[in-house]
Amino acid sequence: MALSTLRSFDQLMTAIHRRWGNDAIVPLGALNPFSDAISTGFPPLDMALGAKGVPQHQLTTFIGSGTSGITSLAHTLVAQAQAQELIGVVIDPSRTFDPQSAQLRGVDLDLLLLVRPVDWMASLSILRDVLDIAVAGCAVLDAAVPDGLDKEALAALELTLNRISGLLPHSTWTVILLLPADLPYIPDHFAVLRLRCTCHKVIDSYPPGLQIEAHILKDKFRPAGARPVFDVLNENPSL
């Protein structure tokens, strides 16, 4: 940008600030979309996501099989959210939540709200109700149900995501959606961030765990395609 243009830019900002206050106008470049973010707890992944982590007030999806590490990643993210004094909520329609595993990832179980709906449709209704509560939180919806999602369930999920995606940027909530990798159709095009996780290798040494590769399929705020690799170890990261 030419020096004369920069001077004009500054003059315009100064004039508006004087009359309307400093909050009336800011350079667009100063609005960092990741200024509000939750660390994933894994530095290689955070670096691939702009050194911040998962954006708050947005929808993020983790896609993977049962051994891909998406549940451990979600638990670690909830622990990081709790460290930022956010409320952690896990909506568990398949009733597969493992408190010991979550605790190993650093989750404070005393400050975690576990929701076990009677059926899938109730899960979606509860998610919408949670987002109406005026507290800052991180909600995880585990849609990686063992029996899979039929066409009706997928259609209901897509409708819900369509509704909440426009509300999230103006809300106090961040939503993480866990999806199985074998869906014929993945209704997560409303997400600003999509990660497909696979197990890179099993770690047999102590502490044991998995080495996970996270393929960034979509990132609204920067080029996608990165494939960071990180270790998910079976120990409490806070110890």
Residue 10 lies in a domain: yes
Are 53 and 25 part of one and the same domain? no
How many whole angstroms separate alpha carbon 88 and alpha carbon 140?
A: 8
> pLDDT per residue over 48-105, tens digit each?
998 789 999 999 999 998 889 999 999 999 999 999 999 999 999 989 999 999 999 9
What per-residue confidence (pLDDT) applies to 26? 55
How many whole angstroms separate alpha carbon 78 and alpha carbon 40?
A: 9
Residue 20 lies in a domain: yes
Residue 238 lies in a domain: no
> pLDDT per residue over 166-195, tens digit each?
889 888 999 999 998 887 777 778 899 999
Are 24 and 49 part of one and the same domain? no
> pLDDT per residue over 92-140, tens digit each?
998 999 999 999 999 999 999 999 998 888 999 999 999 988 899 999 9
How many whole angstroms separate alpha carbon 166 and alpha carbon 180?
A: 24
Its domain, for residue 5, covers: 1-31
Are 20 and 80 part of one and the same domain? no
What per-residue confidence (pLDDT) applies to 7? 65
Annotate 81-112 with b (16+ C-beta within 10 A) or e (fewer).
bbeeebbbbbbbbeeebeeeebbbbbbeeeeb
The number of domains in the chain is 2
- The larger pLDDT score, comparing residue 38 to residue 204, is at 38
Q: What is the mean pLDDT of the chain?
A: 85
pTM of the predicted protein model: 0.81
What per-residue confidence (pLDDT) applies to 31? 44
Are 56 and 95 part of one and the same domain? yes
Are 79 and 170 part of one and the same domain? yes
What per-residue confidence (pLDDT) applies to 25? 62
